């Protein structure tokens, strides 16, 4: 950036408001999220106080159509983004002129969804002459917890959502070491597909719930031991994940049970609670075992502080209490502290994007003038990938009794 452009960016980044809004004279950030099926916006001050937020979920529509259709998601983002942003601004009592910057998810995610948020934001920052902060969706999930707890870098983070499953060491706002990632699909995607295959939308308690929520609810009354699924990648001593093999095992069991009960695909099985419980248990075991190895790798390589080493669990699937309890067993056995944001900040929202904008603003890192063209990136790895080194270390896990309370 030329010196002249850098100076004009510095001018734009000064606090613009004095009174009238809820905030004192602290720099204000508008965060915008449209990477998947939630249109979210929030206004936050530099201390992390949420001044106003709004969220429009497309869940109902996608549940009805049996999965996210990208063109439908794009259309719904288009229909809602203006209103959602205006609502967040109105609730905060902040005008566009008073904002210091706009932060928007630009990667990774569904191309058509990312495009709507990015196009809206670039128009907005040009119209109001505001700096733009392009946000990595997974960095935002990883750092949300710092808005709620005084947590310093570095820390270990397990992010599990509908699109991702990864273990990383967060060393700074934009500095991550990727220890492992999914080799096929993400756990939320697996839970959504299993829920669809089980036709849980027909279940009277589940028709408004996401797949993961439905499985968690039904599993409460199920016997997790009735059906034994193999935990994935038992012979691979790394921190990567795989879920398609598990989904295959579950689908085969469902077909067998349909044949035994003499019912067609699409009928609710009598053993649906037990299948949900066994599914959730195996997902939890897989996540816990890979995380256990990640903790041991971090300890062997001095990647975490000796004082209060922390595991952060976040992303939509982290709302699951059974999975939280499984991870708690690992952190207690290895001397780590476990931190999870509350469920509403685990699933996608505008607040986490605004917070990431605040973190970047505080560091003066990755802030662009309004006229710079930015492209979205549907695929974007998180940080420096050292999963090959983790695999080469071939750390064997000591046996831990994973007796997860229901």
Long-range contacts from 77-83, C-beta under 8 angstroms, 24+ separation:
77/34, 77/39, 77/113, 77/116, 77/117, 78/116, 80/39, 80/56, 81/32, 81/34, 81/39, 81/41, 81/116, 81/117, 81/120, 82/120, 83/54, 83/56
In Å, how far from its chain's centre is CA 290? 18
Contact 103, 30 (CB under 8 A): yes
Answer for which of 58, 80, 144, 213 binds ligand KG4 (CB under 6 A) is 213
Give the residue with the Cβ less far from ligand KG4, 52 or 163.
163
Q: Residue 26 corresponds to which tokens in the numbers above?
A: 């602290």
Give the separation between CA 308 and CA 304, rounded to whole angstroms. Answer: 9
Q: Which stretch binds ligand KG4 (CB under 6 A): 119-127, 247-255, 309-317, 364-372?
A: 309-317
Rg (CA), the chain: 22
Nearest approach in angstroms of CB 295 to ligand KG4 is 22
User: Does 52 help bind ligand KG4 (rule: CB under 6 A)?
Assistant: no
Binding test (CB under 6 A) with ligand KG4, winner from 21, 122, 165, 210: 210
Q: Which residue among 211, 222, 357, 383 contacts ligand KG4 (CB under 6 A)?
A: 211
Name the minimum Å distance from CB 212 to Zn ion. 12
Out of 9, 28, 29, 36, which residue is the one contacting ligand KG4 (CB under 6 A)?
Answer: 36
Instruction: Kindly give, in sequence order, each residue whose CB lies less than 8 Å from that of residue 8, ignoring residues fewer than 6 positions away.
Output: 369
User: How big is the chain, counted in residues?
Assistant: 406
Residues 239-298 close enough to bind Zn ion by CB under 5 A: none
Residues 6+ apart with CB under 8 A from 54: 40, 41, 42, 83, 84, 85, 87, 88, 91, 350
Q: What span, in angstroms and rounded, lies between the C-alpha atoms of 247 and 257?
A: 15
SS3 162: coil
For Zn ion, the binding residue among 161, 165, 242, 331 (CB under 5 A) is 161
Minimum distance from residue 334 beta carbon to Zn ion (Å)? 26
Mask of contacts with Zn ion, 345-364, x by CB under 5 A?
---x----------------
Stretch that binds Zn ion, among 51-59, 88-96, 125-133, 161-169 (CB under 5 A): 161-169
Q: Please report how close the Cβ of residue 266 comes to ligand KG4 at its closest, in angstroms.
A: 20
Give yes or no for residue 192 binding ligand KG4 (CB under 6 A).
Answer: yes
Nearer residue to Zn ion within complex by CB, 46 or 348: 348
3-state secondary structure at position 385 = strand
| Shortest Å distance, C-beta 13 to Zn ion | 28
User: Closer CB to ligand KG4, residue 13 or residue 183?
Assistant: 183
112 binds ligand KG4 (CB under 6 A): no
CA dist 62 and 193 (Å) reads: 12
Interface residues with Zn ion (CB under 5 A) are 161, 348
Interface residues with ligand KG4 (CB under 6 A) are 36, 161-163, 188, 191-192, 210-213, 216, 315-317, 319-320, 347-348
């Amino acid at each position: 950036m030329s010196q002249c452009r850098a100076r004009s960016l510095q001018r734009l980044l000064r606090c613009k408001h004095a009174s009238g809004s809820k905030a004192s004279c602290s720099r204000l950030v508008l965060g915008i999220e449209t990477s998947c099926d939630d249109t979210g916006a929030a206004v936050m001050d530099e201390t992390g106080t949420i001044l106003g937020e709004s969220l429009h979920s497309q869940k109902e529509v996608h549940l009805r159509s049996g999965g996210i259709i990208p063109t439908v998601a794009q259309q719904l983002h288009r229909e809602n983004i203006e209103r959602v942003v205006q609502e967040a601004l109105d609730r905060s009592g902040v005008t566009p002129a008073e904002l210091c910057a706009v932060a928007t998810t630009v990667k990774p995610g569904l191309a058509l969804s990312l495009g709507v948020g990015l196009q809206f934001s670039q128009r907005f920052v040009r119209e109001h002459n505001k700096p733009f902060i392009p946000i990595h969706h997974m960095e935002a999930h990883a750092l949300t917890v710092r808005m709620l707890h005084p947590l310093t870098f570095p820390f270990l983070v397990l992010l599990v959502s509908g699109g991702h499953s990864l273990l990383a060491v967060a060393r700074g706002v934009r500095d991550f070491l990727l220890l492992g990632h999914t080799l096929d699909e993400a756990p939320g995607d697996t839970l959504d597909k299993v829920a669809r295959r089980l036709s849980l939308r027909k279940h009277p308690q589940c028709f408004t719930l996401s797949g993961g929520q439905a499985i968690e609810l039904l599993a409460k009354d199920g016997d997790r031991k009735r059906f034994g699924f193999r935990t994935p990648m038992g012979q691979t001593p790394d921190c990567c994940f795989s879920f398609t093999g598990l989904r295959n095992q579950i689908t085969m069991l469902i077909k067998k049970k349909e044949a035994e009960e003499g019912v067609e695909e699409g009928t609710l099985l009598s053993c649906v609670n037990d299948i949900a419980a066994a599914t959730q248990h195996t997902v939890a075991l897989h996540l816990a075992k890979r995380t256990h190895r990640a903790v041991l790798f971090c300890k062997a390589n001095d990647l975490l502080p000796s004082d209060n080493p922390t595991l952060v669990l976040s992303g939509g699937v982290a709302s699951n209490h059974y999975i939280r309890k499984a991870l708690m067993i690992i952190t207690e056995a290895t001397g780590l502290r476990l931190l999870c944001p509350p469920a509403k900040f685990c699933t996608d929202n505008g607040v986490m994007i605004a917070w990431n904008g605040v973190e970047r603003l505080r560091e003066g890192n990755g802030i662009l003038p309004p006229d710079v063209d930015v492209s979205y990136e549907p695929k974007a790895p998180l940080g420096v990938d050292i999963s090959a080194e983790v695999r080469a270390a071939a750390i064997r896990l000591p046996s831990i009794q994973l007796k997860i309370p229901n």
